[in-house]
Amino acid sequence: MKYGNVKNIKKELLSDNWYSLHKVTFQYQREDAEWETQIREAYDRGNGAVILLYNKKKGTVILTRQFRMPTYLNGNEDGMMIEACAGILEKGNAEQTIIMEVEEETGYKITEVQKVFESYMSPGSVTEVLYFFIGQYEDTMKVSEGGGAEDETENIEVLDMTFQKALEMIATGEIMDAKTIMLLQYAQINQLFG
């Protein structure tokens, strides 16, 4: 018995303004071998990369704070989100992108990163795969203010806080971003701070 087969996939473009949204109609073969028609919308904003910047000696991490409209629309009172530094893959691969994004958003020039895992973040509706990294930073690596790309309206604030404080902020709900929680918990499980 075949299971999980898909056929007759038809994609209808609903929106391609900034990113693209497709309505996908397809036939899906159930476990009992019957074919059924399903419709699912899929939002494609490309893939992304995210990193936890940490300093083992100081016991600190670098996070960012920025306005996120979708959260504002769904109950986040001021729309501000505390997140690990992240960006969408445009020109290079995940590693090149995250190194560039770290400098753009936080002002640190790092050269070494370590990939820890990759994950779909919202598999029922968003196509994106997110590549997760960790990387050590030193105060001497700070080369600029950060804040985001000059041609973009990101207005990113750079936060330097203790790892303990960041963990507390998950418990209090001040950190409510999945990729950030995943990386902080990775650091805790793998005892990055000893």
Ligand X SMILES: Nc1nc2c(ncn2[C@@H]2O[C@H](COP(=O)(O)OP(=O)(O)O[C@H]3O[C@H](CO)[C@@H](O)[C@H](O)[C@@H]3O)[C@@H](O)[C@H]2O)c(=O)[nH]1
Residues that bind ligand X (CB under 6 A): 18, 48, 50, 86-88, 101, 128, 130, 152-154, 179
Q: What angle do helix axes 178-189 and 163-172 make, rounded to 10 degrees?
A: 130
Strands (E), 2-153: 6-15, 20-29, 35-44, 48-55, 60-67, 80-83, 85-88, 114-120, 129-136
Selected binder of Mg ion within 48, 87, 135, 146 (CB under 5 A):
87
> Quick one: 130 or 184, whose CB is closer to Mg ion?
130
> Quick one: 83 or 184, whose CB is closer to Mg ion?
83
Interaction partner, residue 94 (Mg ion, ligand X, none; CB < 5-8 Å by kind): none
Torsion of CA 131, 63, 140, 142, to 10 degrees: 90
Residue 10 tokens, joined: 């038809």
Question: Is 84 a known ligand-binding residue?
Answer: no
Known binding positions: 86, 101, 105, 152
Q: From the annotation, which residues make up the binding site for Mg(2+)? A: 86, 101, 105, 152
Site for Mg ion, rule CB under 5 A = 86-87
